[in-house]
Structures are given as C-alpha cells and as structure tokens.
Structure 1
Amino acid sequence: MNADAPKMPRTIAEYLEQLRAALRGADPALIQDALYDAEEHLRAELAERPGHNEAEMLAKVVGSYGAPEEVADIYRDQEVKTQRALAPPRRPRPKQRSWASHFFGVAADPRTYGALFYMVLALATGIFYFTWATVGISLSFGLAVLIIGIPFIVLFFGSVRMLSLVEGRIVETMLGVRMPRRPTFSMRGMPFWQRIGAMFRDPRTWGTLFYMFLMLPLGIIYFTLVVTLLSTSLALAAAPVVKLVFDMIGFTDYGQCDGPAWVCGWVHFWSGWPGAFAACIVGIAMLFATLHIVRVLGYLHGQIARHFLVARE
C-alpha cells in the first residue's frame, strides 16, 4: 500500500477536509460548491442508512460517489467544460489587430452589455442592500434585550448569507466572474449553537455585510457615471439629426452671437453643419470609450465581489 496515499475518511468532516485539500489551488467558488454538494450528498446517504455510522456509510458510498481525490478531478474537469459552454462565442482573431478593431470591437462583446446593465442596476441593488443591512443591524441591537432578539439576529444573518448567494449569481451572469452557485457548507453535524457561532465567526458573513454597505456608494457612482457618459455621447452623436430637425422647422436662432469675434466664430462653427458632424464624431468616439470604461468597471467590481462574497480556503 502506498504510504503517501490519504487514509480512508471515517467521518464526513474528514471526507470534506480531504476534498478541500484535493481542490487546493482551484477557484474558491468551485471549492465552496464542491464542499456543499459533497456534504449534502453524504448527509442524505447517512439519513437513508439509520443503522449505520458515518464510517460504515462512507465505506459504502465512496465506491459510488467517489474518493475525495476522484471527486476533485471530476469537479475540475466539469468546471472547464462549464466555463467553455458559458463563455460567449469567440470569433477567430487576426494575427495582428489594429487599434481601430480593438477600440470598436468592444461593441460586439456580450459582456460589455452585461456590465452596462449591471452598472445601471447597481443603484437599485445598492439601495436595497444598504437598507436591508442598516435596518437589520439596527433591529438586531434594539431587540437583543428581548426574547425574540436572538432568533431575529440569527434570521437576519441567515438572510445576509442568502443575499450573498443571490448577488453572486447576478455578478456571474452579468459580469462573467465565477461565483459560488451553492451556499457555503455548514457542517450540519455540529450542534445548533456551534453552527450559529460558526456563522458569526465566518469572515464571509462580515464581508458580505461590508459589501452590502459598500454597494450604495458604488451603485451611485456606477449609475451616475454611466448615465452621464451615455447621455452625453448619444446627444453629441445625434447632433446632425438635431440640426436637421431644427432647420426643417425653421429654428435657426441658436447660431446668433453678439460677443467677441473669436467667440462668435466658435458659435457659428458648432451651430453649422461642420460643427454638427464634428460633434457626431466626438460623440461616437465617446460612446465606444464609455463601453470600454464599463468593461473595466465590470471587471473591477467582479474582483471586489469575489473578495467579499467567496469563502476563502
């Protein structure tokens, strides 16, 4: 027998620790999903065998479910296949891309519009998260002296962890960043009060709370920046159409100027067709630059979400 081979786990806790060790170096979100699935499956198997202890159950189940190392390999392979399936289709790239294709190609990337929608949605989610966290913490302190205080605190922190999972799904769907698809595994074999204590000691619980507070200022910044840049760029890009409409209805007073000659020169230029087409070019360039900014912000926010919402090894 190979002395370096891991011993057969005799408890669910040992199985999960071996699975965690086998997945070391993998994406933390993948590790969280694998641990949750394994614990859920093993607990279900144990419940179906009331006359067996954990060691006997594991000896029978490992053959069908797999040893921790085998399960880890399966999850790694499945993750690669899933990421390939979920990734947006990629067009064959030329060997050398021009700066123009790189600059304007952002409009063909589906992730750009996912990030754009997330930036707009962030204001609403930020207000909701901030309100939920503020009211929940305030009521938790206020009710702590009453008999219903402890149940309320437990329910509130449980809701925070659930909202963490919901936000993770939103981030993964819109920003393309791998987030947990299962709750963090909870060692359901522990006594109730130990599980409650573990929830309060879990850094992810407090990280999620901080993230919920942080989402309000971030949501305001994202929404304001995106709306301002988009409205400005679209308004400039539509300058020829606006001028055409004004000319058709006979509204030409916008080009009048009584100031210095150099000021009137600029006014006449921008109120004429040359200025309208120049504004259109600036608006189009600004629109694509805005899409690049949105992509960068989406990537950065995805990293922020991973830092606060994903359980660490």
Structure 2
Amino acid sequence: MSQAIPRTIPEYLDQLRSALRGADPAMIQDALYDAEEHLRAELAEHPELDEAAMLARVATSYGAPDEVAEIYRVKEGEVEQALRPRRRQPVAEKSLLARFFGVAVDPRAYLALFYMVLTLATGIFYFTWVVAGLGMSAGFAILIIGIPFIILFFATVRALSFVEGKIVEAMLGVRMPRRPQAMQPGGSIWQRIGAMFTDPRTWSTLFYMLLMMPLGVLYFCIVTIGFSFAIGLTLAPFVHLFSPYGSGIVMVDGDYVTWSAPLWSLPFVFVGGVLLFFVMLHIVRGIGQLHGQLAKHLLVKAG
C-alpha cells in the first residue's frame, strides 16, 4: 500500500529516505538533494500554493516518494552496469598466476598509486585547514565575528569533503555523493545551521581530514620505499654486469672498497625485484580499496 501524500517538504524527504532504506548512502544523499531542490523550486514558482497543494500537484509529475525511490534504484543499477567492462563472451576463471600478474594491466592499481602519492599533499592541506580553522574559531568565539566565522569554516569543511569524495570516486572507484549534502530541511535558518553542528557526519569529516596527514605520510613511505626497493633489485644485476665497480662501492675505515655479488645470485635478485613490483601493485590496490571504504564511512551521511 502506498503512503499518504506528504503535506510538507520535510515529510516528503522523510518518506523518500524511508523508501530508499538499504540503498547506497551516497545515492540516498543525491536523491534527497535532487528532490529538495526540485520541490523548493516548484514552491518558488507557485507562491499561491502552500506546500501541501504543491506536493499534491507534483505527485503526478515528479512522482511520489516510493516512485522516485524506485527510479533512482533502477537508474543506479543501469549506471553501474554501463561502467562495468563489457564482455562479449563468458571468460573462464583466471588462474592464481594470471590474477597475480594481471594486476599490471588493472587501471585501479595505478589510480590507487597516484592517489596514495597525492594524499601526502591533500593530507597536509586538510590537516592545516582544520587545525587553523578550529584554532581561529576558538579565538574568534569571544568576538562578534565568531559565529559567522565558525559557520563559514564548517561550510568550507563540507565543501572540501565533497571535493574529496569526487577524488575518491574518480581514483578509487568507490561510489560517493555526486551532489553536495543539503542542510537539514525544515525549521528556521538557525535550526538548520544548528543541525549542521550536531550532525555526526560533520565531526567524522573533521576526523577524516585530521587523519589524512598521517595516512598521507604512511602511504607516501609505502610507495616510495616499496617501489624503490623493487626497481633497485630489478636493476641491480645490470649494474653489476656493466659497472666497472661491480655491485657497488662501500667505505670501510676511510677506504673505498668495491664488492660484488656472486654471479649465480643475479637471476634470483632480478626475479625477486620483478615479483616485488607486482606484489607492491597488489598492496597499493588493496590499500586503495580500504581507503575508499574508510572515506565512504566517514564522509557520507548514513541512509
């Protein structure tokens, strides 16, 4: 049995949220934003109608909450299907060896690698922005500009979380909101601003931005050390064969001493470097998947 026609926009959004229960939280946020934007635009275009009359009118055009929810579910499934790589014929399950070396042609591994390097810069920026913003908000709290500054700071945090979500979706392949998160509908402007401060997702976003700096340093160290070691092992046999100094030069008691690895070990060193390179690609791809889930948990409002 369909629900009764809602009489207010917040009631419509509540019914839409209820109809979308269990769906992807990012998709729910997009649907709620689109619905509120459309309904408020309809209300502005027809000032002679109250909310109840306007909602009764758009129920046949925009759709009732359960109808809109079904449209979004279908559309989301179609988009996911379109984004998946098409296969003309069934492909046999790959062997363990093929899956191990197949990571070299997986774009997700290289996008995650780039994201992990980029996180060092974005993490420092987010950390600095949050620490400076909270510090200045505390300092301005006793002044008349304190409240506007705090509101502006939290608004910028919400905007940065939306930008970070777009980066995460593009590079890590995790579905993130494609619409900004609207303030809590209903009530006065002060009640809506207050809801922004009491929303747990606001504080989890601040925690995420503070966490990004240590994560960025950790990711950068994993990438640089791991791949440098892998490339070094791969190139070491060629350096040994073509360098006049053998495998390298070390200083012992103030004197330079050349050293050489046994020739029989060079193939194993080369193979070890190549294998480590593929292992690092798997590690990077796995970290990217884990970070995507962390970002979705902390940045996206639960349905």
Instruction: Using structure 2 for the length normalisation, give the TM-score.
Output: 0.92
Deviation at 1:50, TM superposition (A): 1.1
Does structure 1 residue 99 correspond to structure 2 residue 96? yes
User: Using the alignment, how far apart are the partners of 2:82 and 2:126 within structure 1?
Assistant: 31
User: Using the alignment, how far apart are the partners of 1:254 and 1:20 within structure 2?
Assistant: 65
Instruction: Mark the runs of 5 or more structure 2 residues left unpaired by the alignment.
Output: 253-258
AA partner of residue 169 (structure 2): E
What residue is the counterpart of 2:245 in the other structure? Answer: 251
Q: Are residues 90 and 287 of structure 1, via their aligned partners in 2, closer, same or farther at CA, if it must alter by over 3 Å? A: farther
Q: Are residues 150 and 225 of structure 1, via their aligned partners in 2, closer, same or farther at CA, if it must alter by over 3 Å? A: same
Question: Is the CA contact 2:184–2:195 (under 8 Å) kept in the aligned structure 1?
Answer: no
- Match among 83, 86, 108 for residue 86 of structure 1: 83
> Please, what is the CA RMSD of the aligned residues?
2.1
Question: Is the CA contact 1:106–1:292 (under 8 Å) kept in the aligned structure 2?
Answer: yes
What residue is the counterpart of 1:291 in the other structure? Answer: 281
User: Using the alignment, how far apart are the partners of 1:288 and 1:89 within structure 2?
Assistant: 26
Question: Is the CA contact 1:255–1:271 (under 8 Å) kept in the aligned structure 2?
Answer: no
**SS in structure 1 of the partner of residue 133 of structure 2:** helix
Deviations for 1:74-132, whole angstroms, at most 9, x for unmatched residues?
11111112122333556967534222101101111111111111111111111000000
Q: Are residues 28 and 254 of structure 1, via their aligned partners in 2, closer, same or farther at CA, if it must alter by over 3 Å? A: closer
Deviations for 1:124-165, whole angstroms, at most 9, x for unmatched residues?
111000000000000000000001110000000000111111
**SS in structure 2 of the partner of residue 287 of structure 1:** helix
User: Using the alignment, how far apart are the partners of 2:249 and 2:89 within structure 1?
Assistant: 49
Q: Are residues 120 and 93 of structure 1, via their aligned partners in 2, closer, same or farther at CA, if it must alter by over 3 Å? A: farther
More helix by share: 1
Deviation at 1:253, TM superposition (A): 7.7
What residue is the counterpart of 2:146 in the other structure? Answer: 149
Question: Is the CA contact 1:120–1:222 (under 8 Å) kept in the aligned structure 2?
Answer: yes
Deviations for 1:245-271, whole angstroms, at most 9, x for unmatched residues?
41xxx3348499x9xxxxxxxx65x25
**Equivalent pairs: percent with the same residue?**
58
What residue is the counterpart of 1:276 in the other structure? Answer: 266
User: Using the alignment, how far apart are the partners of 1:306 and 1:90 within structure 2?
Assistant: 29
User: Using the alignment, how far apart are the partners of 1:92 and 1:288 within structure 2?
Assistant: 28
- Match among 34, 37, 43 for residue 46 of structure 1: 43
AA partner of residue 276 (structure 2): M
Count of paired positions: 297
Deviation at 1:191, TM superposition (A): 1.1
What residue is the counterpart of 2:196 in the other structure? Answer: 199
- Match among 193, 212, 217 for residue 215 of structure 1: 212
Instruction: Using structure 1 for the length normalisation, give the TM-score.
Output: 0.89
